Structure 1
Amino acid sequence: MQTNQPLRTAFGQRIRNLRKEQGISQEAFADKCGVMRTYMSRIETGAANPSLEAAKVIADGLGISLSDLLQGL
């Protein structure tokens, strides 16, 4: 996924793509991760800069490892 876009934006797009591949709505995924849908939206658009702990929760919510989530960034 090597691009010239900011890391936060690339990370958010990766989350969105993986979530959509699993057929999970943003609202359902946010609930699964225990965060507000608006926060998940901000993460997916690159407006928020999630902590490492939040990234781990997201990876767990997707059923993948943190290293897999970060792959290609």
Structure 2
Amino acid sequence: MNTKVSGRKAAHAAHGNTLLIAFQDALECLRKEMGLTRCAFAERLGIPRSSYFHLMTDAANPSLDYIELIAERAGVEPISFLGKAGQSARRFGVGAR
């Protein structure tokens, strides 16, 4: 077992993976703004439902390429997924209407 990788995962778990949480928060916020179910949103993004549901777990580790692909298919800038957790509503305009 690679203890270096395990140690890194343990550190993320102990301190919280804030980029992952921000990404997940932003993705869910965008989905809700579009008025889509999780399954319909996955279809819109062109990814399997199982992949979308995996993205919402603590085990998710999306690459930058994957984040760019999702952003392109969702019609947003990739950087909009990587702000601070809890600020997604402002990035996507939810509640501003």
TM-score (norm 1): 0.74
Unaligned runs of 5+ in 1: none
Q: What does residue 76 of structure 2 align with?
A: 64
Unaligned runs of 5+ in 2: 1-14, 86-97
Moved >4 Å (runs of 4+) = none
Per-residue deviation at 1:54? 1.2
Deviates more, 1:4-13 or 1:25-34: 4-13
* CA-based RMSD: 1.9
User: Is 2:32 the partner of 1:17?
Assistant: no
Q: How many pairs align? A: 70
User: Is 2:48 the partner of 1:32?
Assistant: no
Task: Describe the SS at the equivalent of 2:60.
Answer: coil
TM-score (norm 2): 0.59
Per-residue deviation at 1:46? 3.4
User: Is 2:61 the partner of 1:49?
Assistant: yes
